[in-house]
Amino acid sequence: MSVGEVCKEIESRSPRFVESLRKLVKQPSVSAKGTGLAECADLVKEMMAEAGIEAELIGVEGAPPFVYGEALAGKPGARTIIFYNHYDVQPPEPLELWSSDPFAAEVRGGKMFGRGVSDNKADIVSRINLVKVFLDSGGLPCNVKFVIEGEEEIGSPHMPALVERHAERLKADACIWESGGLDEKDRPEITLGMKGILYVELLSRVANRDAHSSLGAAVANPAWRLVWALSKIKGEDERILVPGWYEDVRPFTEKELEALEKMPMEEELIKADLGVEEFLLGASGMELKRALVGGPTATICGFQSGYAGPGSKTVLPSTASAKLDFRLVPDQKPGKLLKALESHLAHQGFGDIKIVPLSQEEASRTSLDEEIVHCASEAASRTYGRDAVIKVSSAGSGPMYLFTNRLKIPSVCVGCTHAFENAHAPDENLRLDVFIKGTEWVARTLDLFGKRDP
Ligand SMILES: [Zn+2]
């Protein structure tokens, strides 16, 4: 059966696709609270088995089960694509802001609403069901593997162990990552990488308890100490002041710069959406794109100390803490930067401030020359009748580096989500037309990848 016919079959089975998505969304799987994870893993495994995919659960101590699956193309020398997804979801709170129960998977106006529907259950259902369509229509164009974890939303703490222990089984010629889909103007968008992250908490403690603020004349204030320490981390010009921070930053290639030039950026839309007058340092155009796609950042995510309730309270706090995330770009090493941050603060006279690392991930970036990138963009043109936007990297982070940097598998985001999906927010939703079209996009990508000579 031709891939065109496979796509027709996907369309004719769309009610079944929607039904199985509804079933998966109705199974809560909140990793932050540990609810429903084992049940959800079982359900995903069952869906795979029903689709003719050989499925099993892989255990890693302390983690909810990983679901692993394999289906073969049935022709010798076939290449392999691995799908990475996650079945866990963010907590649905605040519940009062949802228009319907977050686990009811209600369909209204061509969209399904529910926690996790687009992040990332639609991709799971789309990919499992499309394998079934291929298998029912004469066979897969290439071998496929699935690895689906249950802790992505809490930073994938056990993915490194899985990749280390099962490197051989996870081997593939290319990886199709979670997410990917249509941008704000319904252009298909292919993302080729992710930023890394170093997340730390800084703690300043002085006295053994809070005291009367008249003692501010005599006893150090941890909140001031922390503010001064923070001011040594980033300057007002947005440059990170830690020595060596930019040393390993990999510059953009010529092709990446070309892709950046072509990448549309809805600056006005983003500003209006956030209610901001201008971007940092007044940046726009290429400058802004370079920063978002390939610029290291230092962000204070939260600051806590003393009294911040109604009215006034004259108190000298005993502790202060701040949470910071540093987004990293290819070749920056989080472990090395953590050490650099520690010695910088010590040199600046802030050795008393404790630095607690909370998470570390390297950045990943797949080359524009990779076969899978060509296949995904050609498949986008054939599916949507318009050229795909190539995004050199997401401004966000994820465990993609385990595939690109450790397993050396080029990875791309191609999928069935859309820009206004409200991921992580109330009324998360999925456009059902994009669900089906995105499935066809992945089907065509597999088809092209299977046909090309390595
Ligand atoms: Zn998410």
CA angle, 158 as apex, 156 and 164 as ends, to 5°?
120
How much distance in Å is there from the Cα of 444 to the middle of ligand 1? 26
Q: Which residues surround ligand 1, an ion (CB under 5 A)?
A: 119
319-328 β-sheet, strand order = 297-305, 319-328, 196-205, 354-361
**Ligand 1: centre distance to CA 352 (Å):** 35
Task: Report the predicted TM-score, pTM, of the whole model to 2 decimal places.
Answer: 0.91
Query: Cβ(300)–Cβ(230) under 8 Å?
Result: yes
pLDDT tens digits along 336-388: 999 999 999 999 999 999 999 998 999 999 999 999 999 999 999 999 999 99
Query: pLDDT tens-digit profile of 37-56?
Result: 999 999 999 999 999 999 99
CA dihedral in degrees (431, 436, 437, 441; nearest 10)?
130
Q: Where are the domains of the chain?
A: 3-194+363-451, 196-246+295-361, 250-292
Average pLDDT in the 20-34 region?
97
CA of 178 to the centre of ligand 1 (A): 10
* Cα–Cα distance measured from residue 31 to residue 326, given in angstroms and rounded to the nearest whole number: 23
Question: How much distance in Å is there from the Cα of 123 to the middle of ligand 1?
Answer: 12
Distance (angstroms) between ligand 1 centre and the Cα of 98 equals 18
pLDDT tens digit sequence for 141-168: 999 999 999 999 998 999 999 999 999 9
Gap from CA of 337 to ligand 1 centroid (Å): 26
Pairing of strands 80-86, 174-177: parallel
What's domain 3-194+363-451's superfamily in CATH? Zn peptidases (3.40.630.10)
- What's the gap in Å between 76 CA and the centre of ligand 1? 37
Please state which CATH number belongs to domain 196-246+295-361.
Answer: 3.30.70.360
* Alpha-carbon span 298 to 350, nearest angstrom: 18
**Ligand 1 mean position, distance from CA 184 (Å):** 18
Report the separation in Å between the CA atom of 47 and the middle of ligand 1, taken as the mean of its atom positions.
22
Mean pLDDT of the chain: 96
pLDDT, tens digit (0-9, with 9 covering 90-100), for 203-232: 999 999 999 999 999 999 999 999 999 999
pLDDT at residue 453 greater than cutoff 70: no
Measured distance CA(448)–CA(267) in Å, rounded:
34
